[in-house]
Structure 1
Amino acid sequence: MAEDIIQMCPLHFEDDGTLFFEEDQGLEADSFKKSEKGKAAQIFRNQENHVLIVRPEDNADAMAAFEPMTDEEMQNEPGISLNIHIYQDTNLRGLPVAFSTKWNGETYIMQIVKDGSNMRVAFRPRDVPEFIPGEKSDMLFFKTPFSKGDRQFYRFESSLEQGYFLAFERNERNRVTQLVIKRMDGIDETTKLHTSPLPRKKI
């Protein structure tokens, strides 16, 4: 006797807590498909309200660091505007998202780079894919509330390595607060991140 086929419908919660269903349009098992939903021109912040700035010219992997900035300073600073790309997932583990930014007309994607047992965050030139096969990706993160009921701060877990999250960390040698990927054991305030719209220009 053949097993019954159950039609699965991808869903996620919006930032305001709304449950959102998406139609399955050719989504294959163990894969990710880019949704039409997404957020453009977002500012990435840590809990200290410092702004993430990506500077691809700094090195091959593109230095990404958090810095205090005023709304006026952000108006003319390239590398602070991030696009958030939402993906549909055949396994409900959180909201799959990818981050990209523009620099000199080229798209840079946030990726996790593994070097043996070491992992780091890099921004590299790459187009945003419409479809990602498999259960893992170096450019996808599962977005979940930092704490139950929290609608401002979130955690972003790497889909590449379970238990590893985007975080901010002070690099005393360079005297900058860098965007890093780290293993989280229990509650870790450095993984407490949020996004906000780009400030409007004053007329």
Structure 2
Amino acid sequence: MEVTAVEMDFELCRIVEDGILYFKDNLQTDSWKKSDLAITGSIKNIFNQWLEAHPDEPDGVIFTEPGSDTQTFELQLYKTTSFSDGVSVAFSVKYKGVKYHLCCTEDMKLYFKKGDCPETIAGTCSNIIFFQKQFSDGDDCFKFQSSLQADYYLAVSDEGGKQKLVLQKCKGFNEKQKFDIRST
């Protein structure tokens, strides 16, 4: 049987009111889906300081000196339907018994949002997804690239005498973008 173009159904996808592209016949859309896997541990910078979250303060993500109590972060892994240069992760932490996840703004500022990481995230960029990459060959440390802005990485910055976690534009090799995750 010969089929002409008039008889074929060319509607492969549709866009609904939330702006997400949905495909017929269960084709996948660009998105992230929460994995059952997570990395749990404390995060240390190149100055041997531990990452600490204070969601209720303006300087919400700081580094503390060695020897202080360390907070445990969860790096929630996400499965993705699009190509990514690294493992897709979202940072979360419990602070005063409440769960928060790390977010960034369009102008590359970091903050914590109350609540657990979402089950699914539509699209190919997100304000909570970071691509975890090996810092350098043979190194067991990592760097984290923002999925919202491809050339920005989590980094250490000295601001007002405090070591803070910031998003910094990548300008080649930068030790301040190097982080060690210690399992707890």
Q: Shorter-normalised TM-score: what interval?
A: 0.7 to 0.9
- Taking structure 1 as the reference length, the TM-score comes to 0.73
Gaps of 5+ in 1: 2-25, 199-203
Map 1:20-99 → 2, pairs under 5 A:
28-40=28-40, 42-59=41-58, 63-70=60-67, 73-74=68-69, 80-93=71-84, 94-99=86-91
How many Å apart are 1:127 and its aligned residue? 2.3
* Ranges of 4+ aligned residues in structure 1 off by more than 6 Å: none
Q: C-alpha separation between the residues in 2 aligned to 1:46 and 1:92?
A: 28
> Secondary structure at 1:119's aligned position in 2?
coil
What letter matches 2:147 in structure 1?
A: S
Q: 2:145 aligns with which of 153, 157, 165?
A: 157
How many Å apart are 1:102 and its aligned residue? 0.9
How many Å apart are 1:29 and its aligned residue? 2.5
Deviations 1:8-61 (A, max 9, x none): xxxxxxxxxxxxxxxxxx893310011111123x101111221011112323xx
Q: C-alpha separation between the residues in 1 aligned to 2:166 and 2:27?
A: 31
Does the Cα contact within 8 Å between 1:27 and 1:90 map onto a contact in 2?
no
Q: C-alpha separation between the residues in 1 aligned to 2:96 and 2:136?
A: 37
Q: C-alpha separation between the residues in 1 aligned to 2:170 and 2:115?
A: 28
Q: What corresponds to 2:103 in structure 1?
A: 111
Q: C-alpha separation between the residues in 2 aligned to 1:35 and 1:98?
A: 11
Alpha-carbon spacing, 1:27–1:82, altered in 2? closer, same or farther (3 Å): farther
How many Å apart are 1:157 and its aligned residue? 0.2
> Secondary structure at 1:190's aligned position in 2?
helix
How many Å apart are 1:128 and its aligned residue? 1.3
What letter matches 1:135 in structure 2?
A: T
Is it true that 1:140 corresponds to 2:140 in the alignment?
no
What letter matches 1:170 in structure 2?
A: D
Is it true that 1:131 corresponds to 2:128 in the alignment?
no
State percent identity of aligned pairs: 30
How many Å apart are 1:68 and its aligned residue? 1.3
Q: 1:169 aligns with which of 157, 160, 163?
A: 157
> Secondary structure at 2:176's aligned position in 1?
helix
How many residues are paired up?
159
What letter matches 1:112 in structure 2?
A: C
Q: C-alpha separation between the residues in 2 aligned to 1:55 and 1:30?
A: 33
Is it true that 1:193 corresponds to 2:179 in the alignment?
yes
> Secondary structure at 2:108's aligned position in 1?
strand
Of structures 1 and 2, the larger Rg is shown by 2
Gaps of 5+ in 2: 4-25
CA RMSD after TM alignment: 1.9
Does the Cα contact within 8 Å between 2:55 and 2:111 map onto a contact in 1?
no
